[in-house]
Amino acid sequence: MIDAQTKLYGIIGNPVRHTLSPLIHNRAFKRMGLNAAYLAFEVDHLEAALKGIRGLGLQGVSVTLPYKTDVIPYLDKIDTMSTKIKAINTITNEGGRLIGYNTDWSGAMAALEEKVDLKGTRVYLLGAGGAGRAIGFGLKGRGCKVTLFNRSAERAAQLANELGFDHRPLSSLATLDRLDADVLINATSAGMHPRDDVSPVPKSILQKGVTVMDIVYHPLQTVLLREAEEQGCQTINGLEMLAHQGAAQLEIWTGKRADVRQIKEDLRKAIE
């Protein structure tokens, strides 16, 4: 029940009307016995929104597109990993001081490490955008041997040089006979609704023994994941990363561990 003691959290971005974050956090707050509420705020004026967070005393917010990088100059501090990634997705309000964190990278690593020992693995990472960048830093920290694939050669080269990765054009996947990798991660929007009839990877190069992760969660089973399963691959869907990054946000805000298994179940029911 909302009352005068309720602590307020939210998400800022544009658009946000599609977001599943209120479902994640409000149900988790209830299970954790916390008097807290989480709302979605569709923001047109970022600086004004940040002043509002301070002025109204919101305890924390998630940050989504298009503000994950643009918000940084308005914050008082960001953590070490966010400084490297140059993007944040989580803010805490500590007495008017806004501190930024990034849980995208840790959410992806947690999702992968439920299925794979990442140390020293060969990884094909598709996408050099915000998600690919965050995941790339996580993979580097795990000591993975990464080859980065991206449509823009310039963007791929920039990120690959920064992280010490190899890089190739995304189109070169179509020329391969097989994957020379243990893990393949799709960090692009290929296969996302409404263009959910495409895959960024030819089915013919997928082979048994490879773990395939797709960060897209709408639809839950993308063409890539369906074809990977048909080829005998182990698969990880987009809800896994979403659930883990949300749980990490909750821990930053409350100091308490959330039930990731239950978050996954909430998300699965909402999507299916």
SS3 state of residue 171:
helix
Phi-psi region at 57: left, alpha or beta (left = phi > 0; alpha = psi -120 to 50)? left
Residue 7's H or E segment, with its range, is strand 7-13
State the Cα torsion 54-59-78-55 to the nearest 10°.
0
Distance (Å, whole) CA 269 – CA 82: 32
86 CB-contact burial (10 Å; exposed 0-12 / middle 13-18 / buried 19+): middle
Say which of 7, 30, 68, 86 is annotated catalytic. Answer: 68
Q: Mark whether 68 is an active-site residue.
A: yes
Please give, one letter per residue, the 3-state secondary structure of 32-47. CCCCEEEEEEECCCHH
User: Looking at the annotation, which residues are catalytic?
Assistant: 68
